[in-house]
Structure 1
Amino acid sequence: MLNLLIPRLQVATIYDIDLDGLAASGIRGIITDLDNTLVGARDPDATPELIDWLENVKRRGFQVVIVSNNNLARVQAFASPIRVPFIHSARKPTNAAFRKALQLMKLRAEEACVIGDQMMTDVLGGNRMGLFTILVTPISPQDEGFFTKAVNRRLERAALYWMRK
């Protein structure tokens, strides 16, 4: 079970991801979390840096889908202006939203990666589906919701402790 919490790659930010390396390994699609992965949890809009990164990703031939546990209003308000398809209320780490994202991109699991800031949702869900998982450092952990702080981050710390042993 603990192996399912280990990402294939860990980076500080999305900007540190080697896109050429992903493409060389056969990755053609990116499933990404929103809050604390692309922008801070309370940031309503994409930053100019993020918009440039997304344009670069698309120019390189990657497809992108945002998969978020957040509600429709939050995800739609963020994703629509930057024209990125999205799945809201995803219930990660369950498989349904990951499957739906793969269907939207018309890709198999081995052709996509998941980028997220949480081991208990993004990494666990992605690994269970056979996706290449990338864990980023949360952008603004002080703005995380109660459940993330009280439950997920505590479970992550416990898992990391046991993995180090």
Structure 2
Amino acid sequence: MSFSLIPKMLCPSLTDLTPERLQKAGVTFLMLDFDNTIVPYTTDVPTPEMEAWLARMQCSEIGLCVVSNSHKSRVVEFCGARGIPCITYARKPFSKGILQCRDKFSLDLSHAALAGDQIYTDVLGANCAGTVSILVRPIHLHTIWLRLRHVAELPFIFIGKRSAKL
């Protein structure tokens, strides 16, 4: 467990992560951020590509759980409609939601990963909890604040690209 803003893995999009790629990295369970990782903040409707990816992952040997800071019912409704377990009020970058997921599924966090679009919540939370952090490109940077946050994350993304294992 380390206080680090450097992602262990980088991926252009969540849909570029394959079960084979995760298994090669020793990952057997994938925790997913929700907003701007699976769907944009502005909609609850995933792209057909994302729907197909979720279905493929559910048919694989990789376990899935959405771990979201959101407290909105849309996360629970989205996950419930697809049979994906979820944990809301995760409080990332604190480890609360990640540890809840660990306990719920009896996980060894060294064989689990958290994929999300933010360095300061998803990557930091995963690294502090002792699980693999996977940074994916945000789906949509629709506000100035999201764009500014992304600019502030660029140095860590650059370092992550140089040192990432996948």
Q: CA deviation at 1:19?
A: 2.4
Unaligned runs of 5+ in 2: 161-166
Match of 2:163 in 1: none
Identity across the alignment (%): 29
CA-atom RMSD in angstroms: 2.6
Aligned residues: 160
Q: CA deviation at 1:149?
A: 5.9
Match of 2:153 in 1: 156
Aligned residue identity for 1:86: C
Aligned residue identity for 2:55: E
Match of 2:129 in 1: 129
Q: CA deviation at 1:24?
A: 2.8
Structure 1 position 103 matched with structure 2 position 100: no
Structure 1, 31-40 or 49-58: larger mean CA deviation: 49-58
Relative to structure 1, the CA distance from residue 92 to residue 113 in structure 2 (aligned partners, 3 Å threshold; closer, same or farther) is same
Aligned residue identity for 1:72: K
Report the 3-state secondary structure (helix = DSSP H, G, I; strand = E; otherwise coil) of the residue aligned with 2:7. Answer: coil
TM-score by length of 2: 0.83
Report the 3-state secondary structure (helix = DSSP H, G, I; strand = E; otherwise coil) of the residue aligned with 2:113. Answer: strand
CA contact (8 A) 2:68 2:88 kept: yes
Q: CA deviation at 1:105?
A: 2.2
Q: Distance in 2 between matches of 1:8 and 1:162?
A: 10
Q: CA deviation at 1:100?
A: 0.7
Structure 1 position 140 matched with structure 2 position 140: yes
Superposed CA deviations along residues 85-128 of structure 1, whole A, max 9, x for unmatched, are 11112110001100111222221101111100000000000011
Q: CA deviation at 1:72?
A: 3.4
Q: Distance in 1 between matches of 2:23 and 2:121?
A: 24
TM-score by length of 1: 0.84
Structure 1, 55-64 or 28-37: larger mean CA deviation: 55-64
Match of 1:16 in 2: 16
Superposed CA deviations along residues 111-165 of structure 1, whole A, max 9, x for unmatched, are 1111000000000000111111110110011158x5x566x546425756899xx
Unaligned runs of 5+ in 1: none
Q: Describe how 1:55-134 pairs up with structure 2 within 5 A.
A: 55-134=55-134
